[in-house]
Chain A
Protein backbone atom coordinates (compact mmCIF):
# COMPACT_ATOMS: atom_id res chain seq x y z
CA UNK A 1 0.00 0.00 0.00
CA UNK A 2 1.22 3.50 -0.78
CA UNK A 3 1.97 5.82 2.08
CA UNK A 4 3.29 9.33 2.58
CA UNK A 5 5.09 8.98 5.90
CA UNK A 6 6.31 6.18 8.15
CA UNK A 7 6.57 5.96 11.92
CA UNK A 8 8.35 3.06 13.57
CA UNK A 9 7.04 2.46 17.10
CA UNK A 10 8.93 -0.83 17.54
CA UNK A 11 9.88 -1.46 21.15
CA UNK A 12 7.49 1.16 22.50
CA UNK A 13 4.71 0.17 24.85
CA UNK A 14 1.30 1.62 25.74
CA UNK A 15 0.47 4.49 25.44
CA UNK A 16 3.49 5.64 23.41
CA UNK A 17 2.58 4.08 20.02
CA UNK A 18 -0.76 5.94 20.03
CA UNK A 19 0.55 9.25 21.36
CA UNK A 20 3.42 9.28 18.88
CA UNK A 21 1.13 8.22 16.02
CA UNK A 22 -1.03 11.21 16.84
CA UNK A 23 2.08 13.42 16.83
CA UNK A 24 3.17 12.01 13.47
CA UNK A 25 -0.25 12.80 12.01
CA UNK A 26 -0.21 16.39 13.27
CA UNK A 27 1.88 17.89 10.48
CA UNK A 28 0.31 15.79 7.71
CA UNK A 29 -2.32 17.01 5.30
CA UNK A 30 -5.83 15.59 5.22
CA UNK A 31 -6.09 12.42 3.12
CA UNK A 32 -2.38 11.53 3.45
CA UNK A 33 -1.46 8.07 4.69
CA UNK A 34 0.78 7.23 7.64
CA UNK A 35 2.36 3.80 7.98
CA UNK A 36 2.94 2.72 11.58
CA UNK A 37 5.03 -0.26 12.66
CA UNK A 38 4.59 -1.52 16.23
CA UNK A 39 5.65 -4.49 18.34
CA UNK A 40 3.16 -3.91 21.18
CA UNK A 41 0.27 -6.34 20.60
CA UNK A 42 -2.00 -3.97 22.55
CA UNK A 43 -1.58 -1.49 19.72
CA UNK A 44 -3.88 -3.56 17.49
CA UNK A 45 -7.00 -2.72 19.46
CA UNK A 46 -5.72 0.71 20.49
CA UNK A 47 -5.06 1.80 16.91
CA UNK A 48 -8.64 0.89 15.91
CA UNK A 49 -9.98 2.69 18.98
CA UNK A 50 -7.82 5.72 18.15
CA UNK A 51 -9.27 5.78 14.62
CA UNK A 52 -12.85 5.38 15.90
CA UNK A 53 -12.48 8.24 18.36
CA UNK A 54 -10.54 10.71 16.25
CA UNK A 55 -12.12 10.22 12.84
CA UNK A 56 -8.84 9.23 11.19
CA UNK A 57 -9.32 6.16 8.99
CA UNK A 58 -7.52 2.88 9.70
CA UNK A 59 -7.11 1.55 6.17
CA UNK A 60 -5.46 -1.70 7.19
CA UNK A 61 -4.08 -3.57 10.20
CA UNK A 62 -1.89 -6.61 9.62
CA UNK A 63 0.77 -8.72 11.31
CA UNK A 64 4.05 -9.68 9.67
CA UNK A 65 6.64 -11.70 11.52
CA UNK A 66 5.83 -10.39 14.99
CA UNK A 67 5.38 -6.80 13.82
CA UNK A 68 2.09 -5.02 13.52
CA UNK A 69 1.64 -2.81 10.49
CA UNK A 70 -1.01 -0.10 10.29
CA UNK A 71 -1.99 2.32 7.54
CA UNK A 72 -3.80 5.35 8.90
CA UNK A 73 -5.35 7.99 6.67
CA UNK A 74 -5.49 11.44 8.17
CA UNK A 75 -8.95 12.96 8.58
Chain B
Protein backbone atom coordinates (compact mmCIF):
# COMPACT_ATOMS: atom_id res chain seq x y z
CA UNK B 1 0.00 0.00 0.00
CA UNK B 2 1.46 3.38 -0.93
CA UNK B 3 1.60 6.03 1.77
CA UNK B 4 -1.15 8.61 1.53
CA UNK B 5 -0.14 12.26 1.62
CA UNK B 6 -1.71 15.47 2.88
CA UNK B 7 -0.64 19.06 2.42
CA UNK B 8 -2.03 22.04 4.35
CA UNK B 9 -1.47 25.73 3.72
CA UNK B 10 -1.81 27.63 7.02
CA UNK B 11 -2.34 31.34 6.45
CA UNK B 12 -4.02 32.51 9.68
CA UNK B 13 -2.44 33.35 13.01
CA UNK B 14 -5.38 33.57 15.40
CA UNK B 15 -6.11 31.02 18.12
CA UNK B 16 -9.27 29.65 16.47
CA UNK B 17 -7.66 29.32 13.06
CA UNK B 18 -4.51 27.75 14.48
CA UNK B 19 -6.34 24.62 15.59
CA UNK B 20 -7.55 23.11 12.27
CA UNK B 21 -4.11 22.72 10.65
CA UNK B 22 -2.53 21.18 13.76
CA UNK B 23 -5.52 18.91 14.51
CA UNK B 24 -5.79 17.63 10.94
CA UNK B 25 -2.04 17.22 10.55
CA UNK B 26 -1.57 15.29 13.81
CA UNK B 27 -4.61 13.10 13.10
CA UNK B 28 -3.57 12.35 9.53
CA UNK B 29 -0.09 11.46 10.75
CA UNK B 30 -1.65 9.06 13.27
CA UNK B 31 -3.52 7.44 10.38
CA UNK B 32 -0.26 6.92 8.56
CA UNK B 33 -0.27 9.90 6.20
CA UNK B 34 2.88 11.76 5.24
CA UNK B 35 2.04 15.39 6.06
CA UNK B 36 3.48 18.80 5.27
CA UNK B 37 2.21 22.18 6.44
CA UNK B 38 3.20 25.29 4.52
CA UNK B 39 3.02 28.34 6.81
CA UNK B 40 2.65 31.67 5.07
CA UNK B 41 1.57 35.22 5.96
CA UNK B 42 -0.03 35.25 9.43
CA UNK B 43 0.26 31.48 9.69
CA UNK B 44 3.96 32.06 10.40
CA UNK B 45 2.98 33.14 13.91
CA UNK B 46 2.18 29.50 14.64
CA UNK B 47 5.87 28.62 14.30
CA UNK B 48 7.01 30.91 17.11
CA UNK B 49 8.70 29.25 20.08
CA UNK B 50 6.38 31.31 22.26
CA UNK B 51 2.75 30.92 21.21
CA UNK B 52 1.33 33.18 23.93
CA UNK B 53 0.84 35.93 21.34
CA UNK B 54 -1.65 33.79 19.40
CA UNK B 55 -4.97 35.32 20.39
CA UNK B 56 -8.64 35.40 19.49
CA UNK B 57 -10.72 38.53 19.05
CA UNK B 58 -14.48 38.92 19.26
CA UNK B 59 -14.12 41.98 17.00
CA UNK B 60 -15.46 41.48 13.49
CA UNK B 61 -16.38 37.96 14.57
CA UNK B 62 -20.15 38.02 15.14
CA UNK B 63 -20.26 34.21 15.15
CA UNK B 64 -18.19 33.96 18.34
CA UNK B 65 -20.43 32.80 21.21
CA UNK B 66 -20.29 35.31 24.08
CA UNK B 67 -21.40 34.74 27.68
CA UNK B 68 -23.35 38.00 27.50
CA UNK B 69 -24.31 40.02 24.42
CA UNK B 70 -21.57 42.56 23.86
CA UNK B 71 -21.80 45.62 21.64
CA UNK B 72 -18.89 46.19 19.25
CA UNK B 73 -18.11 49.47 21.05
CA UNK B 74 -17.34 47.43 24.18
CA UNK B 75 -15.41 44.73 22.32
CA UNK B 76 -12.91 47.30 21.08
CA UNK B 77 -11.89 48.41 24.57
CA UNK B 78 -8.28 47.75 25.64
CA UNK B 79 -7.82 44.33 27.22
CA UNK B 80 -10.86 42.74 25.61
CA UNK B 81 -8.74 40.65 23.25
CA UNK B 82 -6.62 39.28 26.11
CA UNK B 83 -9.77 38.55 28.09
CA UNK B 84 -11.44 36.73 25.18
CA UNK B 85 -8.24 34.72 24.65
CA UNK B 86 -8.00 33.80 28.31
CA UNK B 87 -11.65 32.71 28.38
CA UNK B 88 -11.25 30.66 25.22
CA UNK B 89 -8.16 28.91 26.59
CA UNK B 90 -10.01 28.09 29.83
CA UNK B 91 -12.88 26.68 27.79
CA UNK B 92 -10.54 24.54 25.68
CA UNK B 93 -8.86 23.20 28.80
CA UNK B 94 -12.16 22.46 30.52
CA UNK B 95 -13.29 20.39 27.55
CA UNK B 96 -10.06 18.40 27.38
CA UNK B 97 -8.94 19.97 24.10
CA UNK B 98 -5.17 19.98 23.68
CA UNK B 99 -3.24 23.25 23.76
CA UNK B 100 -1.67 24.50 20.54
CA UNK B 101 1.77 23.74 21.95
CA UNK B 102 0.76 20.13 22.65
CA UNK B 103 -0.76 19.62 19.20
CA UNK B 104 2.26 21.17 17.53
CA UNK B 105 4.57 18.86 19.50
CA UNK B 106 2.43 15.86 18.52
CA UNK B 107 2.81 16.90 14.87
CA UNK B 108 6.58 17.13 15.18
CA UNK B 109 6.76 13.84 17.03
CA UNK B 110 4.83 12.22 14.16
CA UNK B 111 7.26 13.67 11.59
CA UNK B 112 4.89 16.26 10.14
CA UNK B 113 7.07 18.57 8.09
CA UNK B 114 6.78 22.31 8.71
CA UNK B 115 7.73 24.66 5.90
CA UNK B 116 7.89 28.40 6.43
CA UNK B 117 7.38 30.63 3.42
CA UNK B 118 10.69 32.41 2.93
CA UNK B 119 9.09 35.32 1.08
CA UNK B 120 6.69 36.22 3.92
CA UNK B 121 9.41 35.71 6.55
CA UNK B 122 11.40 38.37 4.67
CA UNK B 123 8.33 40.54 4.06
CA UNK B 124 7.47 40.81 7.75
CA UNK B 125 11.16 40.90 8.71
CA UNK B 126 10.70 38.04 11.12
CA UNK B 127 13.70 36.84 13.05
CA UNK B 128 14.16 33.12 12.39
CA UNK B 129 15.59 32.66 15.88
CA UNK B 130 12.08 33.31 17.22
CA UNK B 131 10.79 30.25 15.36
CA UNK B 132 11.10 26.65 16.53
CA UNK B 133 14.05 24.71 15.14
CA UNK B 134 12.16 22.02 13.21
CA UNK B 135 11.26 24.33 10.33
CA UNK B 136 12.41 24.28 6.73
CA UNK B 137 12.34 27.45 4.69
CA UNK B 138 11.11 27.37 1.13
CA UNK B 139 8.83 28.78 -1.51
CA UNK B 140 5.70 27.94 -3.44
CA UNK B 141 7.59 25.80 -5.94
CA UNK B 142 9.10 23.65 -3.21
CA UNK B 143 5.65 23.22 -1.65
CA UNK B 144 4.07 22.31 -4.99
CA UNK B 145 6.68 19.59 -5.41
CA UNK B 146 4.97 17.84 -2.50
CA UNK B 147 1.40 19.17 -2.86
CA UNK B 148 1.11 18.08 -6.50
CA UNK B 149 1.31 14.48 -5.41
CA UNK B 150 -1.04 14.50 -2.40
CA UNK B 151 -4.38 12.85 -1.69
CA UNK B 152 -5.64 15.74 0.44
CA UNK B 153 -4.65 19.39 0.05
CA UNK B 154 -6.24 22.10 2.21
CA UNK B 155 -6.04 25.86 2.47
CA UNK B 156 -6.70 27.18 5.99
Contacts and interface: CB of A to CB of B under 8 A. Distances in A.
Interface of A: 11-16, 18-19, 22-23, 39-40, 50, 53-54
A15 B96 contact: no
| Chain B, interface SS category | loop
Interface of B: 23, 26-27, 30-32, 95-98, 106, 110
Nearest to A22: B30
A66 to B, nearest CB: 14
A19 B32 contact: no
A5 B26 CA distance: 23
Contacts of A16: 96-98
A53 B32 contact: yes
A57 B23 CA distance: 24
B31 A15 contact: no
Contacts of A18: 27, 30
Contact of A12 (B27, B32, B96, B110): B96
A40 B95 CA distance: 9
The 6 closest A-B pairs by CB, nearest first: A22-B30, A13-B96, A15-B27, A11-B96, A19-B30, A13-B97
A54 B26 CA distance: 15
A34 B32 CA distance: 19
Given A19-B106, A40-B96, A14 B23 contact: yes
